[in-house]
Structure 1
Amino acid sequence: MGFFDKLKEGLKKSREAFFNKIGQILKTRRFDRETRDEIEELLILADVGVEATEYILERLEEMKPEDAFGALKEILIEILSKDNKLNIPDEKPFVISMVGVNGSGKTTTCGKLAYMFRREGKQVVLGACDTFRAAAIDQLKIWAERSGATFIAHMEGADAGAVAYDAVNHAISKGKDVVILDTAGRLHNKKHLMDELQKVHRVVQKLVPAAPHEVLLVMDAVTGQNGLQQAKIFKEVVSVTGIVLTKLDGTAKGGIAIAIAKELGIPIKFIGVGEGIEDLKPFDAKDFVEALLAGDEISESTPANV
């Protein structure tokens, strides 16, 4: 199964619960007040969020398209199309700081990213900067072995900044291409989290002034609007440059991707639709929308006038 088919399968719950119904309405009915209210309710239930929902409905009203369903696709692609490519520097190493709450799939995502870079022929270093959980260190070590990355760690409870320094320093001394830092994900004390993450980044900048080149926030799609609130906190704490949206195959509310892009203004750079090591791919807005609105379950009819 190709990745688009996996993405389509992963978004099946969202499609069946909400977006097929939206498609059916737009393909068969006029876009009047009653229709607008029904679509609004479905979008909100799908975790698209109030801000993005209002924007979508206003755009549909402004456009007055003959093909309202096609117009919806265009609007969603527009919302999701941001600078989705990685900011890779001309000189190596490329340093990525991975942030996110515990349980979001952050450590697993580090391993999958390492595997992706390794398949491109790059030498990768994984730094175990989540020193508060022995399980996180052990888990990252397993992913390093699976992906063929170099693993840098200290003992549980060690200084996270020291681990980050050693990981980047190793990459510089050995001429390696990519450093991925797995940071702690506790949110119960925002100030402590802010201090720790900022310290990790300051330490890394002593070696590579422009680092980290990417700060990727790993979000669990299943958490929906709660995840969006978490993302807002991380955005306040550190300069998040991109989102990695995981576990899309486990939720009926895939609309959260649209809410993220609209409310946070942060590009989605990767999506995960499974547990496999290859089930993380660069985000493509058009593919995502096509999979979300795949019309094979929607009966075709003459588009209604708006």
Structure 2
Amino acid sequence: MQRTTLEKVEPVAEGVVQLLLRGTDGPLSPWEPGAHIDLTLPNWLTRQYSLCGDPADRDTYRVAVRHDRLSRGGSEYIHLFLTKGRTLDVSVPRNNFPLLPAPEYLFIAGGIGITPLLPMLKAAVESGAPARLLYTGKSRATMPFTDELQTMHGSRVRIHTSDTHGTPDLAAEAAALGPETLVYCCGPTPMLDTAETVFPAERLHLERFRPAFREFAPNAPFEVHCARSARTVQVGAEDSMLDALNHAGFRIPSGCREGVCGSCEVTLVGGEPEHRDDIGAPPDRMYSCVSRSLSPALTVDL
């Protein structure tokens, strides 16, 4: 973990505040566009937020937080109780949503989904590739960083508000897509679901704040063989692999517990996992908060 001091907390749109976190022990860990951090709050909750500042700035991290009406205690605490000067622990940045090289980019942001895309757009423009942003929201007043984006990028940014323009036509965007254009999309679930139906899957990259609804077979118990410690942990049908490992004394970090942040990653050595995450686990990794096993046992590097 990295120790930071909250240097600034200020509104940037209706229901949205930005936090500027300054490292207290020297330069902060480097990061690339698309990365996020785990932020440990004084009320003992840990929440994940996309970094939306400048990767070249090693002194500070910037995140933005929307006050969720269905808050589980994270955004509500930040908006109502968090004050300038507090010392906060943050994780080393992780990136499950990296910006890949491409000859052209289309970025589509919905509301607070602008946060990972803001530094992506800057990096794409600096690479010399044609890039544009479609930024959607209920109204301009609810959309953070609109002025900053238009000042920096001018006509590359198109602001689309539903109170004036209705629902954005993503099918029309897909029809006009260049043959090698990569699409990066982040925002509310209905927008992401639509994007998945209209854009070519091999060129679409998206990040969800909530897991997509999917159905799986009923949970079955399985064993986890921990290779380095020569121990076996039983995972009951009602238990998550994460909880079983933590109860057995293995300190597995966790954040979202929904399979979208990646903080509970474990290295897979053997067995057939059932990936239930929304990140897209590589073959030798799995996310223990939601994923399970299709074989009677898994072997992990613990």
Normalised-by-shorter TM-score class: 0.3 to 0.5
Identify the structure with the greater strand proportion.
2
Q: TM-score under structure 2 normalisation? A: 0.35
Q: TM-score under structure 1 normalisation? A: 0.34
